[in-house]
Amino acid sequence: MDEFESPWLKAYFDIGNVIIYGYAQDWIRTLGKRIVKIHLKDFKRKGYQWTNLLDGDVNWPQVRRALDQIGYDGFLTPELKGGDEAYLTDLAGRIDRIFAMK
């Protein structure tokens, strides 16, 4: 990305997608300030399946630390299935728990 020397080329980082290739916290630290937006998603390696946030293998406390280390303060978009009010209330609670972690 840096070789293009463009202020317009940035990263839209998906936390769940990279778990197959490594650890989200490592990718976050590597991409650093290049990250401008983030998708929140979780993934379970065993069974190779997408899960609800906090039910997969993403190490959320480490992800939180990495985001703090790079000074990320942009948007976070959950990329999950839709649902009723109870599902969305639960999802909001999961996101709150993730960002309360240190």
Distance CA 64, CA 13 (A): 14
Is residue 61 over pLDDT 90? yes
Task: Look at the chain and report how many structural domains it folds into.
Answer: 1
Q: What is the pLDDT of residues 72-92, one digit of tens each?
A: 999 999 988 889 999 999 999
Q: What percent of the chain has pLDDT over 90?
A: 78
pLDDT at 84: 94
Residue 75's closest CA among 37, 25, 42? 37
Higher-scoring residue by pLDDT: 42, 9: 42
State the helix-helix crossing angle for 85-100 and 60-70, rounded to 10 degrees: 60
Number of H helices, E strands in the chain: 3, 5
Q: Tens digits of per-residue pLDDT, 12-60?
A: 899 999 998 899 999 999 999 999 999 999 999 999 999 999 999 999 9
How many angstroms separate the Cα of 92 from the Cα of each of 50, 57, 95? 18, 19, 5
pLDDT of residue 91: 95
Q: Mean pLDDT across the chain, nearest whole number?
A: 92
Comparing C-alpha atoms, which of 20, 17, 10 is closest to residue 72? 10
Its domain, for residue 25, covers 2-100
Return the CATH number at 96. 3.20.20.150
Range from 1-5, 53-57, 61-65, 74-78 carrying the lowest mean pLDDT? 1-5
In contact, 91 and 78? CB cutoff 8 Å:
yes
